[in-house]
């Protein structure tokens, strides 16, 4: 193989790895958000875990974070403000990425 082919394969592998890590971080963030929101709503145990799975599934409706935000906003109506939800989303994104980097 030529150096160009090696470099191309290397870039493709990095792109695939980065995309997988982004997906895993978003899924982890959504689980953490779901568990947080479940706690705010007074759920614990299996009910909290089930709600977290619902939040993870809500992220498959459209690209981006707005589908998750809308679900949390609707479900937490009156219990958390939009700013609180968005702040928690940022916090949980950082936490999820830290957890994943610790696992590697």
Which of 95, 46, 45, 47 lies closest to 75, judged by CA? 47
What is this structure's pTM?
A: 0.85
Q: How far apart are CA 24 and CA 22, in angstroms?
A: 5
What integer pLDDT is reported at residue 1 of this predicted model? 60
Print the domain residue range for 11: 3-103
20 SS3 class = helix
- Of 1 and 67, the one with more pLDDT: 67
Mean pLDDT of the chain: 92
Tell me how many domains the chain contains.
1
60 SS3 class = coil
- Residue 52, domain CATH: 1.10.790.20
């Amino acid at each position: 193989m030529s150096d160009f082919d090696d470099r191309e394969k290397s870039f493709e592998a990095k792109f695939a790895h980065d995309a997988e890590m982004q997906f895993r971080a978003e899924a982890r963030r959504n689980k953490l958000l779901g568990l947080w929101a479940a706690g705010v709503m007074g759920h614990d145990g299996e009910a909290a875990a089930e709600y977290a799975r619902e939040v993870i599934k809500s992220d498959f409706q459209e690209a981006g974070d707005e589908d998750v935000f809308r679900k949390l906003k609707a479900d937490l109506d009156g219990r958390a403000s939009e700013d609180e939800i968005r702040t928690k989303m940022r916090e949980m994104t950082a936490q999820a990425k830290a957890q994943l980097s610790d696992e590697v």
